[in-house]
Amino acid sequence: MQETPSQYRARRCTAPDCGLRFPVTDGSPLGSTCPLCRAPTEWVDAAYVTHGVSSPDASLPRAEASAPEPSDGSRLRVEALLDNIRSLRNVGSMFRTADGAGVSHLHLGGVTPTPEHPKLAKTALGAERSVPWSRHLDACAAAGELCAAGRRLWALEGGPRSVSIFDPSVARAAAELRASGDTVVLVLGHEVSGVDPRIVDLCERVIHLPMVGIKDSLNVSVALGVAAYLLRFGPGADPVAPH
Ligand SMILES: C[S@@+](CC[C@H](N)C(=O)[O-])C[C@H]1O[C@@H](n2cnc3c(N)ncnc32)[C@H](O)[C@@H]1O
């Protein structure tokens, strides 16, 4: 995994009834007014540290080897928190993936567009009507509320805490949560700056999809698709029922 100094930092709208939080290039005058309500914004927290996922961890055994079977055979409950995903196409695609994989709720944070935007349906193709969603101007605050409500936050991200999704500890944790009926919220980040580090701090796990090529990350909607299918239908889960 590579750690690179980031040029990104969070700004937050100062209007009490807005509070939009979004990443901006550190020091840039852009974003000094809120793109939603036009009130002044302020810098918050330190600059992001971004993490790529550049090295496959070939030394790790495959999860199948040691993953215990879930006691009740039911599927892992998965939701996703989208932290400042800027692209309409990506978010539409994530609705379609959520519909397909059975991700039961999308929490749309910061500038992430919602199905109220008419162009989101171009890639969601109707899934924007089937997948429940909610909007949160401050994804960081939303993450805290989800934790307080008992959801288990897992960031999809690189960084020093990150372990491969194929690490046996991930399959074991998924099996435990399948058995207990708890819900995992996968947190995915902005296309360039990644997940807000303050949100990563709130996550009980940080997991990544190993990268074996020249790139150190996947398209964010692809990352959601791979992770959601692995966690819900992968090792230890029930066989896929016919559609
Ligand atoms: C394009 S990536 C952001 C890349 C950014 N340069 C960084 O290093 O954080 C956007 C989001 O997709 C998800 N993502 C992309 N590739 C991933 C991978 N290999 N493993 C886990 N998450 C990944 C993460 O949620 C990430 O925040």
What does the pLDDT look like over 140-176, one tens digit per residue? 999 999 999 999 999 999 999 999 999 999 999 999 9
Hey, which of 51, 206, 220 would you mutate to test ligand 1's pocket, going by the most ligand atoms within 8 Å of its Cβ? 220
| Residue 29 in tokens | 């005058």
26-30, 69-73, 95-99, 179-183: least confidently modelled range: 69-73
pTM of the predicted model as reported, rounded to 2 decimal places: 0.84
85 lines ligand 1 (CB under 6 A): no
The residue whose C-alpha atom lies closest to atom 21 belonging to ligand 1 is: 208
Question: What's the pLDDT score for residue 235?
Answer: 77
**Domain regions of the chain by residue span:** 3-51, 63-233
How would residue 1 be classed by pLDDT, with cut points 50, 70 and 90? Answer: very low
Between the CA of 175 and the centroid of ligand 1 the distance, in Å, is 24
Long-range contacts of 59-65 (CB under 8 A, 24+ apart): 60/164, 60/166, 60/167, 60/168, 61/168, 62/166, 63/166, 63/167, 63/168, 63/170, 63/171, 63/234, 63/235, 63/236, 64/171, 64/235, 65/168
198 backbone dihedrals φ, ψ, rounded to 5°: -65, -35
CATH code reported for the domain at 63-233: 3.40.1280.10
Across the range 57-63, mean pLDDT stands at 36
Confidence category of residue 67, pLDDT binned at 50, 70, 90? very low
Q: Nearest C-alpha to atom 13 of ligand 1 is from which residue?
A: 220
Q: What's the mean pLDDT when you consider all of the chain?
A: 89
- The sign of the dihedral angle between the CA atoms of 135, 218, 54, 10 is negative
240 token code pair? 């896929």
> Best substitution site from 218, 229, 230, 231 to test ligand 1's pocket, by max atoms within 8 Å of Cβ?
218
CB of 223 shorter than 6 A to ligand 1: yes
* Whole-number percent of the chain with pLDDT over 70: 86
Looking at per-residue pLDDT, the higher value among 152 and 62 belongs to 152
